[in-house]
Amino acid sequence: MNKWILGARPRTLPAAIAPIIVASALAGPDFNWFRAALALKVGLWLQIAVNFANDYSDGIKGTDTHRIGPTRLVASGLASARSAKNAALFSFALASLAGLWLAYLTSPWLIAIGLLSIWAAWNYTGGKKPYGYSGFGEISVFIFFGVVATVGTYYVQSEKLTLLSFIVAIPMGALSCAILSINNLRDRDQDVLVGKRTLAVRMGDAAARRFFVALLVLAHTAAIATFKPLALLTLLVTPLTFSIARTVLGGASGAQLIPLLGKTGKLQLIFATVFALALAIQ
């Protein structure tokens, strides 16, 4: 596989795609394919930028030296720190261009939100005090890949904010957090050694596993809480949800958790597709 595709970490991209699918379905008659496409570009390039930025920051700090999970470009020597940083900046630039276009079409407030998103993406593992090293990563992911991505995509198409748009953002935020949570659970022992105080480290192994499962339960519960009868269709994906949860609660650790990253991303995409159909039909 091309090293830059590897560094972009395709298995994490459902976190950027799923909110766009759900929010566009919620927009209903206000659906605008061009604005939805721009929102998708923003989400995808921000996610890719985060991945490259984390690769760069963790690489120069030396915290990825003994990583169990997917190969990191800088730590493995596949790419220089400078090239990884440039890849992150290029991805941020592409996301910014799409975001500026959306701001021009809708509201200049999107510029401020975009700048805040970029700041959050860079400082997750970058800077002198990366908040991802202190256990706040899940909060950031819920806000930006849940609320901002979903409500923002709905807004740029409908140019309005509704309570329902915030409610449907909860499952997207919860499942995006689950992707990060399974990563942190997998890397917990290594993170302890290098001083990374992720939420999984702070909570401890058993609690981190329960937290991951709670995120999956929250996604299903929030979908039903929309009080849309067809939202019950999201229960069709519970076999996959149960399978993932059972593996995590069963004590799988380290390399055994690597396949669950892709499965959790798959769960989010399938969940979002079924949820979107439910929202679009009603």
Number of structural domains in the chain: 1
- Structure-token pair, residue 280: 């679009």
136-153 average pLDDT score: 94
Given a contact cutoff of 8 angstroms between Cβ atoms, the answer to whether 113 and 106 are in contact is no
Q: How does DSSP assign 231-278, residue by residue?
A: GGGGGGGHHHHHHHHHHHHTT--GGGGHHHHHHHHHHHHHHHHHHHHH
Question: pLDDT-based confidence at 191, cuts 50/70/90?
Answer: confident
Q: What percentage of the chain carries pLDDT values higher than 90?
A: 66
Residue 14 scores a pLDDT above 60: yes
Count of C-beta atoms within a 10 Å radius of residue 11: 18
Range of the domain at 89: 3-281
**Predicted local confidence at residue 171, as pLDDT:** 96
Given a contact cutoff of 8 angstroms between Cβ atoms, the answer to whether 228 and 278 are in contact is yes
**Predicted local confidence at residue 195, as pLDDT:** 79
Considering only residues 233 and 61, tell me which one the structure prediction assigns the higher pLDDT: 233
Quick: pLDDT tens for 113-124: 999 999 999 999
Among 79-83, 94-98, 105-109, name the one with the lowest average pLDDT.
Answer: 79-83
> What are the angstrom distances between the C-alpha of 197 and each of 10, 42, 74, 133, 172?
25, 29, 21, 5, 25
CA distance 275 to 167: 12
CA distance 78 to 24: 38
Q: Closest Cα to residue 71, out of 124, 125, 2? A: 2
Q: What CATH code is carried by the domain that includes residue 39?
A: 1.10.600
Average pLDDT, rounded, for the chain:
90
**Predicted local confidence at residue 173, as pLDDT:** 95
Question: pLDDT-based confidence at 192, cuts 50/70/90?
Answer: confident
Among 28-32, 189-193, 197-201, 263-267, name the one with the lowest average pLDDT.
Answer: 189-193
Identify the DSSP state of 118. Answer: H
HSE-CB for 11 with a 13 A CA cutoff:
16
